[in-house]
Amino acid sequence: MAEATVREYLGRARRAALSWAAVEAVGEEELEAKLYPPPVQLACEERPLPDWVEVDRELRRAKGVTLALLWEEYRAAHPEAGYRYSRFCELYRQWRRRVDLVMRQEHKAGEAMFVDYAGLTVPVVAPATGEVREAQVFVSVLGASNYTYAEATWSQGLPDWTGSHVRAFEFYGAVPERVVNDNLKSGVTRACRWEPEINPTYHDLAVHYGVAVVPARVKKPRDKAKVEVGVQVVERWILARLRKRSFFSLAELNEAIRELLGCLNERPFRKLPGCRRERFEQIDRPAMKPLPPTPYEYAEWRKARVNVDYHVEVEGHYYSVPYTLVGRQLDVRLSGATVECFAGGQRVASHKKSALRGHHTTVAAHMPRAHRDYAEWTPERLVRWAAKAGEPVAEVVERILASRLHPQQGFRACLGLMRLGRRHGEPRLVAACGRALAVGGVSYRSVASILEKGLDREPLPAPVQATLPLVHPNLRGPRYYGAAEEVPC
């Protein structure tokens, strides 16, 4: 006989209060009647009805909780009068169909945060000019509790998109397991049903907070039905109430949204006990992860190729990287204070961000020892090439190299002069360099401007005389004034 069968018989004997002596004293039919008594015939209204709200809360509260487990607990409390499992499940499904639509989705506690922008915008008037600018409204909703956050931003661009996520996490005081978003360009670089490409900055934010980004499928609004309904609720209970008010700053608008948002989250449910805030504190909050020690710092990702002077250009400034990376394309992470360069996913350089355009930030460790590894590009070779083209070109090259802290920082400008010579011809380059020396504009940009405007074909300006001539027909001289004194009145 199977172990489970033996266990079942022992349980039935225990419930029937039968001992071994009592079993031996009765016949088989009487024993069977005691072990398998007829079911208690009770009307439906006499059977204890489960607390469906508590059942629903327990299903959302923790992973691994199933209807079968909850039914077993219910039967343990009501062994004789409780419903059978099939009827228990049927009654629960009927109860679920009677509650609001937003409560029908199955979301575990702390599992998901749904984000989107409202379709309505809010006009904000500039006090100084009277210009009206439309503010976007960001909305996030937690899956299990429907706890809602909303704020106004100027755009749906990447800085505002990531900033709204940071403030939403701070509003909740915790972080969910995943974020479900629409295929907005700020969040998804390339939409794909099977493998969407997440924006690198948005991916950085997700890594910082330890959340998974799961974009909704294209043209599948039901994937984010929570926030679709949440947007409707925000539009009806917040934005509609603000339609007749005038706002003169984004901060003023957000203050009004925060006041109404508190009322929205405190508003009681129609068919369930409690409100959004209570369900958040009971269900979502305990299951969510804590915030990291510091908030996410916004940063953008770009591509940059390493030039022969082992520098990359970022917003007009030049930052050094190891010289062995010359010619490679790097990933550049640009934040508010730093510029970081990555090759193959590994950080190879980090610099303090500079706003000086045309200048260089160079780390000595990035330079080759005595620049022997780059003998092909040396100041001497550049000067020799310039001398072959003409003396004015050589002088311009020498001055460019001498004006830099490291001569290699001037390689880029000298190579630019070489390109101008191939494009316009060496005679014109010599004339342009001569004119640049005459006017004091010794730089690549000055020479390029002279060639572009054809000023190299014009005669050079005459040198300005430093002092006035001592003799000139229009000058009276001292004798004139002496003669005037001898004239009688």
CATH number, domain of 130, equals: 3.30.420.10
| pLDDT above 60 for 464 | no
- Flag whether 258 is in a domain: yes
pLDDT score recorded for residue 171: 93
DSSP, collapsed to helix, strand or coil, labels residue 454 as coil
Q: Residues 96, 230: one domain? A: no
Q: Residues 129, 88: one domain? A: no
User: Where among 314, 341, 372 does a domain terminate?
Assistant: 372
- The more confident residue out of 37 and 456 is 456
Q: Which amino acid is at 327?
A: G
Q: Residues 323, 242: one domain? A: no
pLDDT score recorded for residue 251: 93
- The more confident residue out of 397 and 13 is 397
Q: Residues 25, 133: one domain? A: no
Query: pLDDT tens for residues 26-85?
Result: 777 777 777 776 655 555 556 778 887 888 877 776 666 788 888 888 878 877 777 888
Separation in Å, CA 86 to CA 8, 71, 121, 379, 484: 20, 10, 49, 88, 132
User: Where among 326, 347, 372 does a domain terminate?
Assistant: 372
Q: Residues 116, 244: one domain? A: yes
Q: Residues 397, 313: one domain? A: no
Separation in Å, CA 331 to CA 185, 224, 427: 20, 33, 41
Q: Residues 250, 153: one domain? A: yes
- Flag whether 481 is in a domain: no
User: Where among 372, 407, 431 does a domain terminate?
Assistant: 372
Query: pLDDT tens for residues 136-151?
Result: 999 999 888 889 999 9
User: Are 309 and 299 within 8 A, CB to CB?
Assistant: no
Q: What is the mean pLDDT of the chain?
A: 80
Q: Residues 30, 160: one domain? A: no
- Flag whether 484 is in a domain: no
- Flag whether 486 is in a domain: no
Query: pLDDT tens for residues 345-382?
Result: 899 999 999 988 888 888 888 887 655 444 456 777 77
Q: Residues 264, 170: one domain? A: yes
Q: Residues 207, 308: one domain? A: no
Q: Residues 402, 350: one domain? A: no
CA 370/CA 375 separation, integer angstroms: 10
pLDDT score recorded for residue 373: 44
Helix segments in 285-351, DSSP class H: 285-287
pLDDT score recorded for residue 22: 74
Helices (H) and strands (E) in the chain, counts: 18, 15
- Flag whether 478 is in a domain: no
- Flag whether 470 is in a domain: no
Q: Residues 264, 305: one domain? A: no
pLDDT score recorded for residue 250: 93
- Flag whether 49 is in a domain: yes
Residues 6+ apart with CB under 8 A from 351: 319, 320, 338, 339, 340, 361, 363
Q: How many CB atoms lie within 10 A of CB 283?
A: 25
Nearest by Cα to 102 from 271, 272, 225: 225
Domain limits for position 405? 378-457
The label of the residue with tokens 């940059």 reads 304
For the chain, the domain total comes to 4
User: Are 418 and 385 within 8 A, CB to CB?
Assistant: yes
- Flag whether 463 is in a domain: no
Total-model pTM: 0.54
